Amino acid sequence: MANAPTSISAPELQRWMSSTQPPQLVDVREQQELELAALPGVVHLPLSGSQQWLPQLWDRLDRGRDLVVLCHAGIRSWQFATWLMETQQVPQVWNLEGGIDAWSVLVDPAVPRY
């Protein structure tokens, strides 16, 4: 794949988030999933609601920041990251490997698993 997202592990993301230039986090899960377990400061773009947020996509995302996309297990976010690269000319997007579930297991057990 020429344009594929870069995988990032939960511990790597944790380190990056505490750096001087943290990435913008985009969570593509549904609202009910976000209510179960969430990371602070995410931009919530549920894939099922794309008709609502797509016209304002670049009002919600910062082209000047690195983007890390996440979902429950890393599959939906991989698809969205690939779409961003292919259709929105975003040169590089990171995908949280294993999603929020990996974050719960590897970084913060206070984030509930579901």
For the annotated catalytic residues, the residue numbers are 71
Is the C-alpha dihedral spanning 83, 86, 92, 97 positive or negative? positive
**Other Cβ atoms closer than 10 A to 54:** 9
Give the number of residues written for the chain. Answer: 114
DSSP state of 63: T
Alpha-carbon 48 to chain mean position: 15
User: Which parts of 1-114 are beta strand (E)?
Assistant: 6-8, 24-27, 43-44, 67-70, 93-96
